[in-house]
Amino acid sequence: MERKFICIRCPKGCEITTTLDDKGNILKIEGNSCKLGIEHVKAELSDPRRTLTTTVRVEDGIHPVVPVWTEKPVPEGQVMNIVKVLSRSSVKAPVAINQIIIENVLGTGINVITSRAIPERHKEGGHND
């Protein structure tokens, strides 16, 4: 059986063809220009992971949402479950950059953190600079 991958370990984006036996063991890897491609294919076959980027609602902030991401790639099968958790989450302003929004999300050992600061919205009569 053949499986095709596009390596994302560097900007080159090698198109890699992998031949597997009927038990899923790698017989041949072709198309990679460096060893990172081989590592990428092995990881994709054994434990595919993704870095999740999305937003979380902000209460009383100058913006309604803050961009967040997982500090490390999470198991691919957990991505949609984490998205569901984050869709029900919110944080109160002010929000700091690199602030942990959810620690150890769904028991993965990985934190969800902010990627920008969101100042607090001033109340009536006040103004933001």
**Residue-wise over 19-56: b if at least 16 C-beta within 10 A, else e?**
eeeeeeeeeebeebeeeebbebbeebeeeebeebeeeb
CA distance 126 to 60: 13
Structural domains of the chain, count: 2
Beta bridge partners of 15: 6
pLDDT surpassing 70 at residue 129:
no
Q: pTM of the predicted model, to two decimals? A: 0.79
Instruction: Please identify which residue in the block is written with the tokens 């491609």.
Output: 37
Pair (90, 41) in one structural domain: no
Residue 83's SS3 state is helix
Pair (109, 61) in one structural domain: yes
pLDDT grade for 122, boundaries at 50, 70 and 90? confident
pLDDT grade for 126, boundaries at 50, 70 and 90? low
Pair (63, 101) in one structural domain: yes
Other Cβ atoms less than 10 A from the Cβ of 99: the count is 18
Asked whether residue 102 is assigned to any structural domain, the reply reads yes
